[in-house]
């Protein structure tokens, strides 16, 4: 489930629509899932393959560990970047649809005419008083 926040504010006759998404759950799912599953869960089989099948010794196995963790982090980072890019497009699309709906529902204000003085009881306008 996604955690979106939509805020609509109006100031000075202008409407502002802000859409935000909390990416905390996505970060936990991607880095936790890939880091735990691939990094931790895949670490045992990788070590077994290199030690058993390739007969790699202790010093070389010491080099494999940081390489495997770097590959795991790079994979998680790539998945996270693609996921956030897709989500950013979806949120931008939502904001644009909300803006179109606001334009459709909220009437445009008429241009304000210069204020005129009300007519007097005799129907004449009161003359302007010079400022100063």
User: What tens digit of pLDDT does each residue of 38-54 get?
Assistant: 988 988 898 888 888 88
Q: Which residue has the higher pLDDT, 102 or 125?
A: 102
What's the pLDDT at 47? 86
Phi, psi of 6 (to 5 degrees): -115, 125
Does pLDDT of 22 surpass 90? Answer: yes
pLDDT above 90: percentage of residues in the chain: 49
pLDDT above 70: percentage of residues in the chain: 82
What's the pLDDT at 26? 95
Q: Locate the domains of the chain by residue range.
A: 4-105
């Amino acid at each position: 489930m996604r955690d979106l926040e939509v805020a609509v504010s109006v100031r000075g006759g202008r409407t502002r629509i802000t859409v935000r998404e909390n990416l905390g759950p996505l970060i936990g799912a991607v880095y936790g899932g890939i880091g735990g599953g691939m990094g931790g869960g895949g670490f045992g089989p990788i070590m077994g393959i290199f030690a058993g099948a390739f007969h790699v010794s202790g010093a070389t196995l010491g080099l494999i560990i940081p390489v495997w963790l770097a590959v795991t982090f790079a994979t998680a980072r790539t998945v996270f970047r693609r996921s956030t890019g897709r989500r950013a497009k979806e949120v931008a699309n939502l904001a644009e649809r909300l803006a179109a709906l606001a334009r459709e529902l909220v009437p445009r204000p008429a241009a304000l005419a210069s204020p005129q003085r009300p007519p007097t009881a005799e129907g004449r306008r009161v003359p302007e008083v010079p400022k100063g």
